[in-house]
């Protein structure tokens, strides 16, 4: 079979790194940003969802974050990963939304309503335990846990995103793991802390 130019272009496009695609966007190739959106859309949406606790608000926030990223892509510098840069925009945007609401928020508040659709009965208890654990964390702890455990960012990237020293992030994460471990008893239930 003979390869066409289109096949060669598709192969070459598949081999480009995120940073190379960002460079193309910075040079005016807006089509390259379409791939960036597809690549980061779900993780950014989930990050927003976990911080904002509302599906519709998370969808809106994710769209606004990508618009803001496109508007500011010229300011991006490869000194940090594009992912860390994008998550910094997402974090700041979500924090602004939370401040605008001017009321407390609960991580994963809508998550329970999705449990029946997503999980079987056995997995449901696990999710309930995770939800209970997360509700007891501070906003900073939730962000560190989400970025490290769910999104698998390095401590350096988390430090960049949250404007913290990577060493401090590592220590906070280790303390958080110990804190979560103390909150569980042998049956996987939440050990209520004395007030």
Enter the pTM of the model.
Answer: 0.63
Written as tens digits, the pLDDT of the chain (195 aa) is 555 555 545 545 557 899 999 999 999 998 999 999 999 999 999 999 988 888 999 999 999 999 999 999 999 988 899 999 999 999 999 998 888 775 443 444 444 444 444 444 445 555 566 667 777 788 888 889 888 887 788 999 999 999 999 999 999 999 988 887 776 643 444 444 333
Give me the pLDDT at residue 187, please.
46
Give me the pLDDT at residue 185, please.
47
- DSSP string spanning the chain? -PPPHHHHHHHHHHH--HHHHHHHHHTT-THHHHHHHHHHHHHHHHHHHHHH--HHHHHHHHHHHHHHHHHHGGG--TTS-HHHHHHHHHHHHHHHHHHHHTS---TTTTHHHHHHHH--HHHHHHHHHHHHHHHTS-HHHHHHHIIIIIS---HHHHHHHHT--HHHHHHHHHHHHHHHHHHB-TTS-B-PPP-
Q: Find out whether 70 and 25 touch, Cβ atoms under 8 Å.
A: yes
Give me the pLDDT at residue 13, please.
53
Domain boundaries, the chain: 15-105, 109-195
109-195 architecture in CATH?
Orthogonal Bundle (1.10)
Give me the pLDDT at residue 130, please.
63
- DSSP string spanning 62-94? HHHHHHHHHHHGGG--TTS-HHHHHHHHHHHHH
CATH topology of domain 15-105: Rna Polymerase Sigma Factor; Chain: A (1.10.1740)
């Amino acid at each position: 079979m003979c390869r066409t130019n289109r096949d060669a272009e598709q192969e070459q496009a598949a081999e480009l790194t995120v940073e190379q695609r960002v460079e193309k966007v910075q040079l005016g190739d807006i089509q390259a940003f379409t791939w960036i959106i597809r690549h980061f859309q779900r993780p950014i949406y989930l990050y927003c969802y976990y911080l904002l606790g509302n599906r519709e608000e998370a969808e809106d926030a994710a769209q606004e974050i990508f618009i803001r990223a496109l508007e500011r892509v010229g300011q991006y510098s490869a000194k940090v990963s594009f992912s860390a840069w994008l998550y910094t925009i997402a974090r700041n945007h979500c924090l602004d939304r939370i401040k605008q609401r001017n009321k407390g928020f609960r991580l994963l508040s809508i998550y329970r309503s999705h449990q029946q659709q997503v999980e079987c009965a056995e997995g449901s208890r696990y999710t309930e335990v995770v939800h209970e654990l997360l509700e007891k964390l501070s906003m900073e702890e939730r962000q560190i846990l989400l970025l490290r455990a769910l999104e698998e960012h390095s401590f350096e990237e988390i430090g960049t995103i949250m404007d913290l020293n990577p060493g401090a992030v590592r220590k906070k994460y280790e303390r958080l793991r110990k804190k979560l471990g103390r909150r569980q008893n042998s049956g996987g239930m939440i050990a209520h802390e004395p007030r």
